[in-house]
């Protein structure tokens, strides 16, 4: 427990400050570019890759120099373990906070019909009166083999348009669409022709399910999907039916089974758990290493950014 107070002051406090600053910066950027402006980033980039990148950058620039104050008795370098704690904690917190931000800024709005969604910006809708045109369905799919696994995985996406009622009946203005995703896998040990036959049979089964209202979880609850893998496939399928339609004129929904109140409470709990677990884990692991007083003096007046630049560009 020797020098434990110094370790908390010079490492834990910096860790907390950097985490709060990084998460706030990420949330502000996410709110501006993803929620408000709706820049077309694939969702796994904004929701996962960006948090990992920001947490790695923040840890490297601000926390890494402080971790060098720790002294270990073993010949190995346990600093990698501390990097993992810091990066993992910040990433987990950012992912959870982004989910909370989406729920907090997108209330459930009740609409009389799907056309009203164009003027009311949110992600979650309760649409009272709608009709899905299951006569005009289309699909897109991808087949991928993951390394070291003995399966081919198919992601299959079916789309169908909402029918828009006007004074002459139903319009053929297909602007609003519903999408549903299906999954299937086939072993690599199966002959290619037989495997393709199984995939073809799966597509037919999925199409039948989709046309029989398989797209719905809750009868009138929908979520407008942003630019994502799902929307990319939706647009590809939609262009088969309406080749001339522009991507920006298409609004795609997925049937939503989210209880928004419950989801918000669940995500808040995750944020609390992520916050406390990261702090407590670091507090416990700081008990064991020693503390380098001599190196602490050498930090006076140093700029961590300058140190990183020198590290990257030194010969």
Rounded Cα–Cα distance for residues 185 and 194 (Å): 13
Whether the per-residue pLDDT at 185 is higher than 90: the answer is: yes
Percent of the chain surpassing pLDDT 70: 90
What's the whole-number mean pLDDT along residues 221-236?
Answer: 88
Specify the pLDDT at position 68.
84
Lowest mean pLDDT among 145-149, 160-164, 208-212, 214-218: 214-218
Which pLDDT score, from 0 to 100, does residue 306 have? 53
Q: Tell me the pLDDT band of 299, cut-offs 50, 70 and 90.
A: low
pLDDT at residue 315, rounded to an integer: 46
Q: Chain-wide mean pLDDT for the chain?
A: 85
| Contact criterion met (CB below 8 Å) for 188 and 145 | yes
Instruction: Report the candidate in 151, 143, 227, 141 with the shortest Cα–Cα distance to residue 180.
Output: 141
Most confident region among 2-11, 119-128, 252-261, 301-310 by mean pLDDT: 119-128
- Using the predicted structure, report yes or no on whether residue 226 has a pLDDT greater than 90: no
3-state DSSP assignment of residue 209: helix
Q: Rounded to whole angstroms, what are the CA distances from 241 to 30, 234, 245, 284?
A: 33, 11, 9, 59
Domain ranges of the chain: 4-106+262-313, 108-258
Alpha helices of the chain — where are they, by DSSP H?
A: 4-7, 13-29, 43-44, 50-58, 64-67, 79-105, 192-209, 229-241, 260-285, 293-298, 304-313
């Amino acid at each position: 427990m020797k020098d434990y107070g110094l370790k908390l002051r010079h490492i834990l406090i910096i860790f907390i400050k950097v985490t709060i600053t990084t998460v706030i910066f990420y949330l502000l950027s996410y709110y501006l570019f993803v929620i408000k402006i709706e820049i077309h980033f694939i969702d796994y980039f904004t929701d996962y890759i960006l948090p990992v990148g920001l947490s790695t950058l923040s840890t490297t620039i601000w926390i890494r120099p402080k971790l060098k104050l720790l002294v270990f008795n073993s010949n190995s370098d346990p600093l990698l373990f501390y990097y993992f704690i810091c990066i993992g904690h910040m990433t987990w917190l950012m992912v959870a906070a982004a989910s909370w931000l989406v729920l907090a800024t997108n209330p459930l709005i009740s609409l009389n019909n799907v056309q009203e969604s164009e003027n009311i910006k949110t992600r979650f809708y309760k649409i009272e009166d709608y009709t899905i045109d299951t006569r005009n369905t289309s699909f897109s799919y991808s087949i991928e083999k993951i390394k070291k696994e003995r399966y081919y995985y198919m992601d299959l996406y079916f789309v169908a348009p909402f029918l828009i009622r006007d004074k002459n009946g139903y319009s053929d203005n297909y602007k609003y669409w519903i999408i549903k995703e299906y999954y299937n896998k086939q072993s690599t040990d199966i002959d290619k022709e037989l495997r393709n036959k199984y995939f073809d049979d799966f597509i037919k089964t999925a199409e039948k399910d989709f046309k029989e209202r398989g797209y719905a979880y809750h009868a009138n609850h929908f979520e407008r999907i942003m630019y994502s893998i799902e929307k990319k496939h939706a647009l590809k399928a939609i262009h088969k039916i309406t080749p001339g339609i522009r991507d920006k004129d298409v609004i795609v929904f997925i049937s939503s089974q989210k209880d928004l109140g419950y989801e918000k409470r669940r995500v808040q709990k995750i944020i609390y758990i992520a916050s406390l677990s990261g702090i407590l884990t670091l507090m416990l692991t700081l008990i064991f290493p020693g503390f380098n007083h001599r190196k602490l003096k050498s930090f006076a007046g140093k700029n961590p950014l300058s140190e990183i630049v020198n590290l990257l560009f030194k010969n």
